[in-house]
Amino acid sequence: MENCVFCKIVAGEIPSAKIVETEDVLAFLDIAPVNPGHTLIIPIRHFETLWDLPEDIALTLTRAIRKISKAIMAATKADGLNVGMNNLRAAGQLVPHAHFHLIPRFAGDGLDHWPGKAYKNVEEMNLVAADVRRALG
Ligand code: 5GP
Ligand code: ZN
Domain count, the chain: 1
pLDDT the model gives residue 50: 98
Q: Give me the domain span that covers residue 60.
A: 5-136
Span from the CA of 117 to the centroid of ligand 2 (angstroms):
34
> Hey, whose CA ends up nearest to atom 17 of ligand 1?
31
Average pLDDT over residues 107-126: 95
CA atoms of 66 and 74, how far apart (whole Å):
13
Q: How far apart are CA 128 and CA 51, in angstroms?
A: 20
Pocket test for ligand 1, best of 7, 35, 40 (most atoms within 8 A of CB): 40
Residue 2's pLDDT is 84
Q: What CATH number does the domain containing 27 carry? A: 3.30.428.10
Grade residue 79 by pLDDT with cuts at 50, 70 and 90.
Answer: very high
**70 C-alpha to ligand 2 centroid (Å):** 26
Could you give the CA distance from residue 24 to residue 60 in angstroms, rounded to a whole number? Answer: 8
Pocket test for ligand 1, best of 31, 34, 89 (most atoms within 8 A of CB): 31
Percent residues over pLDDT 90 in the chain: 96
99 flagged as catalytic: yes
Q: Count H helices, E strands: the chain? A: 3, 5
